[in-house]
Amino acid sequence: MGTRVIVGVSGSLSSLAALHHAMDEARRTDALLVAVLAWTPPGGEAAYRRSPYPPLLKQEEKAATQQLDTAFEQAFGGYPDDVRIRSLTVRGEPGPVLVDVADRPDDVLVVSTGRRGNRLQRLLHGSVTRYCMAHARCVVTAVPPSELLAEFEHGLRLGDPIALLEKAQTSLG
């Protein structure tokens, strides 16, 4: 069957860093890269069960596929042709979906450690990284955000975007 590198993709900057890490690992080991974007209906599963509307699900699934394509476009300018890639959009919460996909002992699961949403969202949904590390049956690689990204997110919380742009320009050039 061969080794697979499974990576969770959301489109966030930290998930793009994880995608780069996973791509490097897949190239290095000649593994299949499986990029996974988990999605749920607007309002969550409980709300959808109360008021199901199948056309909305089709629309959300299509949007998830486009979001995954956009992540590859932003990270690499499209789908690289030197690595075998399988893209999956799966309905469900990210942690359980990733653990279900990475179901082989020789898989490598790559997740970002970037913070998702505000404190309330993290409290309600938990950490995808922690969930994967606790439940996966394979190796889990947690990719931290770059120093520049961490400073950028910190600056956003402080509300000083001009200082952030100046710092980014200084460190890049």
- H/E element, 89: strand 85-91
> Phi and psi of 11, rounded to 5°?
100, -10
Please give, one letter per residue, the 3-state secondary structure of 10-78: CCCHHHHHHHHHHHHHHHHHCCEEEEEEEECCCCHHHHHHHCCCHHHHHHHHHHHHHHHHHHHHHHHCC
Task: Look up residue 14 and give its two tokens.
Answer: 């930290």
What's the pLDDT at 113?
A: 86
pLDDT in tens, 118-167: 555 555 556 899 999 999 999 999 998 777 666 666 666 666 666 666 66
pTM as predicted: 0.81
DSSP 86: E
Task: Identify the segments of the chain with pLDDT beneath 70.
Answer: 1, 115-126, 148-173
Q: Where are the domains of the chain?
A: 4-144
CATH number of 4-144: 3.40.50.620
Q: Rounded to whole angstroms, how far apart are CA atoms 34 and 28?
A: 15
Q: Return the CA Rg of the chain.
A: 17
What's the pLDDT at 13?
A: 86
